[in-house]
Amino acid sequence: MRIAVNTRLLLPGKLDGIGWFTYETLKRITRNHPEQEFIFLFDRPWHQEFIFSDNIRPVYISPPTRHPILWYTWFEYSVPSALIKYQADVFLSPDGYLSLKAEAPSLAVIHDINFHHRPEDLPYASRIYYRRFFPLYAQKADIIVTVSEYSKQDICSSYNIPVEKVNVIYNGANPIYSPLSQEEILKIREELTGRIPYFVFVGTLHPRKNIPRLLLAFDRFRQNISENFKMVIVGEKTFLTGDIEKALSQMNYNEDVIFTGRLDPEKLRMVMGGAVALTFLPLFEGFGIPIVEAMYCDTPVLASNVTSLPEVAGDAALYADPYNINAIAGKMLEIVKNDNLRKELIEKGKIQRQKYSWDKTAGGLWQNVERIM
């Protein structure tokens, strides 16, 4: 069988949540199934690190998908031609985009539909594209995979999709994430904050990640505690980040905020493991991989009480209303003041994290590919 895969998000040094899903699942699937042939469809010259095994045939098809018009061109013209040319039996798309013109059976991984509920977070052209085409992609797919029960119900109810067509496969975490020794914790704090304890946020600097309220909550927290703390923001700017600058301008303790940009997994493991807690308060999330990464690092988690996060974190997180700055600040104070709470969250995280691994994710995704084949 020939399985064509949309691999346009496999970009060296630029993997985000969906990119990591693509990388971790395809690495395992291609190596575990040498009897199958995989056609990796790239929208720019590929990097050899993503050619995981000998049964992969990398193919470059233009144009690079950097704009909605180019998305449409790539998926509605370039992809169908490639599927015919390489005689693909199945089309797998880990980022949910499909080709409405392609005849091959298709599996779409739709991680969430935040754009359906929060279109204002996106540039105008992207907003129009997502709201126009993703309902059509959901109808077109022979099977939809998503990453939480919350997302499944949301996709089914929003797009009128039968529940039997959508299967849930949870995300995993890179095995590199593990607890730090006390010596490593001191070392990363020395390097990052001058030994000052810190909270950490991990994710793209996107409006739905709710960073402005998190910063204002940290400022409120700092006003109510005598000890010194820092806030470390790990992630790459996307767009519409003016509200972050506005929040910083309103803070009394904005000098205690550190922006690191994107970090590789080795460095992120250190930064995550050295934190007092992960503060992950998005307004909308289909899964929330940083929560699982924090649990594997034995780092307590403060999370939003909305969308998929209570499902993913279970009883292993402290929750706050992401719209309530005082509530977030209060929970941050609670984590710092209550050692027993921190220990309890860590112990519960050790149990909760066992639900999530990329091996399980890859196995589940392959089962759905087999259903189509």
Residue-wise pLDDT tens digits, 89-100: 999 999 999 999
> At 334, is the secondary structure helix, strand, or coil?
helix
For the chain, what are the domain ranges? 2-172+357-372, 182-355
Confidence of residue 14 (pLDDT cuts 50, 70, 90): confident
Predicted local confidence at residue 239, as pLDDT: 64
Predicted local confidence at residue 247, as pLDDT: 95
Q: What is the mean pLDDT of residues 42-58?
A: 97
Q: What are phi and psi of 267, to 5 degrees?
A: -70, -40
Q: Which amino acid is at 297?
A: C
Predicted local confidence at residue 118, as pLDDT: 93
In this structure, the dihedral spanned by the alpha carbons of residues 70, 74, 78 and 84, taken in order and rounded to 10 degrees, is: -160
Residue predicted with more confidence, 309 or 13? 309
| Rounded-to-integer distance, Cα 45 and Cα 8, Å | 10
Q: Are the CB atoms for 145 and 368 separated by under 8 Å?
A: yes
DSSP 245: H
58-85 pLDDT tens trace = 999 999 999 999 999 999 999 999 999 9
| Rounded-to-integer distance, Cα 227 and Cα 87, Å | 64
Give the whole-number percent of the chain exceeding pLDDT 90.
94
Predicted local confidence at residue 114, as pLDDT: 95
| Rounded-to-integer distance, Cα 127 and Cα 200, Å | 30
| Res 281 pLDDT > 80 | yes
Q: What is the mean pLDDT of residues 148-165?
A: 98
| Res 38 pLDDT > 90 | yes
Of 155, 55, 144, 158, the closest CA to residue 107 belongs to 144
| Rounded-to-integer distance, Cα 132 and Cα 75, Å | 14
Q: Are the CB atoms for 250 and 218 separated by under 8 Å?
A: no
| Residue environment code for 178-201, b if the CB has 16+ CB neighbours within 10 A, otherwise e | eebeeeebeebbeebbeeebbbbb
Confidence of residue 297 (pLDDT cuts 50, 70, 90): very high
Confidence of residue 273 (pLDDT cuts 50, 70, 90): very high
Residue 195 falls in which region: left (phi positive, over 0), alpha (psi -120 to 50) or beta: left
Of 7, 71, 91, the closest CA to residue 41 belongs to 7
| Two tokens, residue 3 | 């399985």
Predicted local confidence at residue 240, as pLDDT: 58
Predicted local confidence at residue 242, as pLDDT: 83
Q: What is the mean pLDDT of residues 18-34?
A: 97
Predicted local confidence at residue 340, as pLDDT: 97
Predicted local confidence at residue 373, as pLDDT: 84
Q: Which residues contact 368 (CB under 8 A, 6 or more apart)?
A: 107, 143, 145, 167, 169
Judge whether 2-172+357-372 and 182-355 match in fold. yes
| Rounded-to-integer distance, Cα 159 and Cα 112, Å | 12
Q: What are phi and psi of 40, to 5 degrees?
A: -90, 120
196-255 pLDDT tens trace = 999 999 999 999 999 999 999 999 999 999 999 999 999 987 765 789 999 999 999 999
Beta-carbon count within 10 A of 116 CB? 16
Which CB contacts under 8 angstroms, 24+ apart, belong to 119-124? 120/207, 121/206, 121/207, 121/208, 121/240, 122/240, 123/239, 123/240
pTM of the model: 0.94
Q: Which residues contact 77 (CB under 8 A, 6 or more apart)?
A: 101
Predicted local confidence at residue 74, as pLDDT: 98
DSSP 181: P
Task: For tokens 């209550």, name the residue.
Answer: 338
| Res 178 pLDDT > 80 | yes
Question: Could you say which of 3.40.50.2000, 2.40.30.10, 3.40.50.300, 3.30.420.40 is the CATH number of the domain covering 2-172+357-372?
Answer: 3.40.50.2000
Q: What is the mean pLDDT of residues 1-18?
A: 94
Predicted local confidence at residue 159, as pLDDT: 98
* Strand pairing category for 37-42 and 106-109: unpaired
| Res 287 pLDDT > 90 | yes
CATH class, domain 182-355, is alpha beta
- Three-state helix/strand/coil letters over 155-210: HHHHHCCCHHHEEECCCCCCCCCCCCCHHHHHHHHHHHHCCCCEEEEECCECHHHC
| Rounded-to-integer distance, Cα 299 and Cα 64, Å | 39
Predicted local confidence at residue 237, as pLDDT: 78
- Mean pLDDT, the chain, integer: 96
